[in-house]
Each structure stands twice: as structure tokens, then as C-alpha cells.
């Protein structure tokens, strides 16, 4: 039988910092009421958690996921996310494009060979139409 109202369970229980495990909506509301001081109850994270828990109890089960997220946010409302410089580097923006090649890294430019582009083309044409022995066809 599916639990309704405040007896609904979270898909994954919430582990509070003090070791308490919150399994149901009722336990989450009681924990927030017990641990959050009255001076902080008007904070956006706390009011959002209270609203989401109420919606989860009164409406469909889909609200339980949102209630779990909001409750965790309210519990950890003073924690600041730390930047981890040792995290894996992302590959974004590190593609090697042909246009970004440094000079001299790709095929040799014609100026290095000491010839112009037209001379190069003519040499290629002569090499393709090479006539051994000077006999023309």
C-alpha cells in the first residue's frame, strides 16, 4: 500500500550532519523545527523546504523529490561550496583546430622552400608530364 500524507517516505533517506536519518516527511519537518533557530526560519531556503514538504504531503508523490532537495538545502544552508583545484580538468575548449596551428607546425610554407606559388605549381605540372628522352607525343 502506498503511504499518503506525512507518512510518505523519501526515495533516499536524508542523512543529517548530526547522524540523524530522515526517512519520512514527518521526520524531516520535525527535524527542521527542532534544529533551525526561530531567527532563521524566514530564510528562503527554510521557507522553501517547508513549502515543498507541505506540497509533498498534500499532493502527488512527485513532490517528494523536490521536498528532499529543499530539505537538504535548508539543513546545509550555511555551508559554502569549496572550489577543488585538484578536480579533473575538463576538455571543453581544448580541441585542436587547423586554424589555431602555430606557424611552422603544419606543412612547410612555400617561402621557406624559396619559391613562389606559381613556380611550385609549374614544377608540379612538369613532374606530372615528365618526358624521358625528350621525345614528345
How does pLDDT run along the chain (137 residues), one tens digit per residue?
567 899 999 999 999 999 999 999 999 999 999 999 999 999 999 999 999 999 999 998 889 999 999 999 999 999 888 887 777 766 666 666 666 666 655 555 555 556 666 776 676 665 555 555 555 54
pLDDT at 56: 94
Query: Which candidate, 37, 35, 76, 32, places its Cα nearest to that of 50?
Result: 32
Yes or no: say if 24 and 9 are a contact pair by the CB < 8 Å rule: yes
Q: What is the pTM of this model?
A: 0.59
pLDDT at 3: 79
Using alpha carbons only, what angle is made at residue 96 by residues 90 and 99, rounded to the nearest 5 degrees?
Answer: 140
Amino acid at each position: 500500500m502506498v503511504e499518503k500524507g506525512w507518512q510518505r517516505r523519501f526515495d533516499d533517506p536524508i542523512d543529517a550532519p548530526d547522524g540523524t536519518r530522515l526517512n519520512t516527511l514527518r521526520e524531516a519537518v520535525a527535524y527542521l523545527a527542532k534544529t533551525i533557530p526561530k531567527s532563521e526560519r524566514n530564510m528562503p531556503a527554510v521557507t522553501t523546504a517547508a513549502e515543498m514538504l507541505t506540497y509533498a504531503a498534500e499532493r502527488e508523490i512527485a513532490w517528494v523529490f523536490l521536498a528532499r532537495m529543499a530539505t537538504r538545502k535548508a539543513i546545509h544552508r550555511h555551508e559554502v561550496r569549496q572550489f577543488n583545484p585538484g578536480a579533473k580538468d575538463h576538455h571543453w575548449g581544448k580541441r585542436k583546430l587547423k586554424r589555431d596551428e602555430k606557424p611552422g607546425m603544419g606543412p612547410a610554407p612555400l617561402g621557406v622552400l624559396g619559391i613562389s606559388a606559381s613556380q611550385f605549381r609549374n614544377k608540379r605540372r612538369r613532374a606530372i608530364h615528365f618526358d624521358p628522352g625528350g621525345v614528345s607525343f
